[in-house]
Amino acid sequence: MQETIKALREELSAELAGIKNQNELETFRIKYLARKGRIAGLFDALKNVPAADKPPIGKALNELRSFAQTSFEEKEKQLQQSPIAGSRAIDVSLPGRPRPVGSKHPITQTIDELRQIFGRMGFSVASGPDIEDDYHNFTALNFPPDHPARDMQDTFFISKSILLRTHTSPVQIRVMENQQPPVRVIIPGRVYRNEAISSRSHVIFHQLEGLYVDTGVTFSELKGTLVSFAKQLYGSSVRYKFRPTFFPFTEPSADMYISCFICNQKGCPVCKYIGWLEILGSGMVHPNVLKYCGYDIERFSGYAFGMGIERMALLRYGIDDIRLYFENDLRFLRQF
């Protein structure tokens, strides 16, 4: 009898250790602890034990019963605490659920490519705040006090002198305030304008600014850099032209055009049937701007340029509605 008790104790311990859920535990309870269970069965068998042997065997049986009861309760507690309590067993042989993999936004991809091209030409990347002051966005860039670009129509003002930057050019000032020449940076970033939202314009878009200041920087260097850039981005057969224009912070200033590769200069809606695409504004940094930054204009000269990144991406991917970039529509984003 003692042997049977010992064997049962081992058997139920082993069984209990393998139990993984409430159902199995209930089966265990019925098998060993219930009124007709195996432990109760041994208590019944006690009747047939010779009187002299009863006390030690009875004691051993009582011990077995309380051991089984406490082990059962411990297991029950353990199962309730486990995170998969009550759930069905996990089938580890099932294939995993695939997670959707994201991709970079087309604007980020375009910025990455521009960074690479200008990085190879020695430009490093700088950045500045989206919330600017009037001084950096306008004054130090040589905007006269009554310049129309300061008009409330174009600019989101936060207070009289604080605004959302309308271009990345204020970062030119911030870089030059903190660094003596040579300066050779590109500045990608968000800009804001108070305009009606349509397929062609948005209140928020991105620009990439370039600035190079050193001794003896010339306009032909500006052209050489931009032509090299355009050929790297659009292919070596691209044609280009520069056309004089005006910016308060550059003199002389020029817009750069490339041949429309969408229609091969035959005329299409993207180039508005002129065969040429305007891709950026540029010019030699105005001496007043250098002076605002404390640069010696007898020693230093420089050039700057600025382009709209949405426009670059449009020409790269053929996206004809600027709003698509900001709507986070997965049907659009999944294509990149």
Residues interacting with ligand PHE, by CB under 6 A?
Answer: 167, 169, 209, 247, 250, 281-283, 304-306
Least CB distance to ligand PHE at residue 174 (A)? 14
Least CB distance to ligand PHE at residue 285 (A)? 8
The smaller minimum CB distance to ligand PHE, of residues 57 and 167, is found at: 167
The smaller minimum CB distance to ligand PHE, of residues 247 and 325, is found at: 247
The smaller minimum CB distance to ligand PHE, of residues 155 and 169, is found at: 169
Structure tokens at 32: 């060993």
The smaller minimum CB distance to ligand PHE, of residues 229 and 305, is found at: 305
The smaller minimum CB distance to ligand PHE, of residues 240 and 332, is found at: 240
DSSP one-letter string for 56-104: HHHHHHHHHHHHHHHHHHHHHHHHHHSTTTTSPPP-TTSPPPPPPPP--
Q: Is 253 helix (H, G, I), strand (E, B) or coil?
A: strand
Which helix (DSSP H) or strand (DSSP E) does residue 293 occupy? none
- Spatial neighbors of 30 by CB under 8 A, at least 6 apart, are 37
Question: Which residues of the chain form beta strands (DSSP E)?
Answer: 124-125, 131-133, 162-164, 183-192, 204-215, 240-247, 250-259, 276-285, 300-308
Least CB distance to ligand PHE at residue 336 (A)? 26
Least CB distance to ligand PHE at residue 291 (A)? 17
Least CB distance to ligand PHE at residue 310 (A)? 13
Distances (CA, A) of 257 to 49, 244, 291, 313: 109, 11, 30, 16
Least CB distance to ligand PHE at residue 307 (A)? 8
The smaller minimum CB distance to ligand PHE, of residues 24 and 251, is found at: 251
Alpha-carbon gap, residue 325 to 26, rounded angstroms: 58
